[in-house]
Chain A
C-alpha cells in the first residue's frame, strides 16, 4: 500500500514549456486534490475531483488543467509554464474524514 505517489519529485521547466505532474493513489479513494504551496505560505487548492470523470476548480486554477479517467490517477497539466508557477505541488486523496498527501513535486520555471 503505497498511498499517494507523485512523480517527478523535482523538475525545472523553461518558460512556455508544458508538462504533466503525475499523481496516483492505491487506496480506492474517490476524492483527489491538487494543491500548490509557495514559500512560507499555506497550501492553495488548484483543482479537485470527486470521482472518475468529475473535476472542479479550486481557488487558483488558472494555468492548469486536470483530468480524471480512473479512480487511481489524477494528473495535473501545465500548458505554458510561467515563473509564477514555481511552487511545490501536492496531490492528496480522501475517503471519509482524512486527507492523505503525497510527498510533493518541486517545480521551478526559469
Chain B
C-alpha cells in the first residue's frame, strides 16, 4: 500500500470549513483513498473513501486531484465535536488491512 503524508496538526474555527490535506504520490491505479478519524480515546471511525472522483456524504467531502497524488478532506461546518485525529489511508478497495500513520490532529476552536 502506498504511504501518505499529512500535516501533524491544524486548527479551525467553529462553523468554518476544515480542509485537511493528504499527499499520496506513490498511489497506484487501483488504490483508494480512505479517511478515518479518532476522537479522543475512542476507536477510529470511518468517514469517506474515493478512487478518483470527488465524493460527498453526510459527514464530509473528499476532493482528489486529477493526478491522484493528493487529496483533501473537507468538513464543511466544523464543530467542537469534530476535534480528533484524522487519518488518510491508501488501500485497495477491498483491502484487508488499514495501515495507520500519525494522522493530523484537528483542533476546532470556538
Interface residues of A (CB under 8 A from B): 4, 31, 33, 35, 40-45, 48, 50, 58, 88, 90, 92, 94, 96-104
Contacts and interface: CB of A to CB of B under 8 A. Distances in A.
SS of A interface (majority): strand
Contacts of A97: 49, 93-94
B100 A104 contact: no
26 contacts: A4-B43, A31-B96, A33-B98, A41-B102, A42-B87, A42-B103, A43-B100, A45-B97, A45-B98, A50-B96, A90-B44, A92-B98, A97-B49, A97-B93, A97-B94, A98-B46, A99-B36, A99-B46, A99-B98, A100-B46, A101-B42, A101-B43, A102-B43, A103-B43, A104-B42, A104-B43
Contacts of B99: 45
Interface residues of B, number: 19
